[in-house]
Amino acid sequence: MPCDPEFETIVNRYRKPLTAAAYHLCGDVDAAQDIVQETLLDAYRGYASLRDHSAAGPWLYAILRRKAYSHRQSKRPETELPPDLPSQHPDLLEELTRGIVIEQLAVLSQDDREILAGKYLLGLSYQELSESLGIGEGAIRVRCMRAKERLRKALCGSMAGEN
C-alpha cells in the first residue's frame, strides 16, 4: 500500500515531538518508540477519516495518549528515569539543565505531564489541547498554568536540595 505524500509530511513533522511526548508519558525510551510506531500505524489506518489535515497534531496526540494509557495499564510505570539519557546537544550546561527538567517532569502527576508534553513538546495550542483531551479551553489554560507552577516548584526544590 503506497503512502500518501501528505501523510509522510505529517509523520516527518510530528515523529520527534510525539516520541518526546511518549517518553514523558511512559518514562521508557523503548516503550516510547513502540507507542509512537503504534500511533503512526493507527493514524495511517485512519488517515482517510481525518477531515481537517491541519488538525493532525491534536489528532495524533489523542491517539498517542490512548496508546500510552494502554501501555501504563499493561505495565507498571517506572518511578525513576534513566540517569544517562542520550543528549542531542553538545553544550554541557544545556544537557545538565535538560536532565534536571526531565527528572522533575517524572515527579509530576500524569495529568501534569500530559498537559506539558502536549503544549511544549508537541507545540499544541490551548484549543488543540482542549479538543485532544476533551476538556474546555479555560480548564486547559488553568491546568497548564498549575502544571508549570508545580514544575517550577519541583525544579526549585531540586536545585535547593543539591546545595
List the domains of the chain with CATH numbers.
5-78+89-162 (1.20.140)
Placement of cell 518511578 in the chain: 79
- Find out whether 135 and 143 touch, Cβ atoms under 8 Å: yes
Report pLDDT for 68.
87
Q: Return averaged pLDDT per consecutive 10 residues of the chain, 163 residues in all.
A: 76 90 85 91 88 86 89 60 46 59 77 85 88 90 90 71 48
Picking from 112, 121, 105, the residue whose alpha carbon sits closest to that of residue 145 is 112
Return the C-alpha cell found at 63.
491517539
Displacement of CA 109 from its chain's centroid (Å): 13
Return the C-alpha cell found at 25.
508519558
> CA 42 to CA 78: how far, in whole Å?
26
- Find out whether 71 and 96 touch, Cβ atoms under 8 Å: no
Helices (H) and strands (E) in the chain, counts: 7, 0
pTM above 0.75, yes or no: no
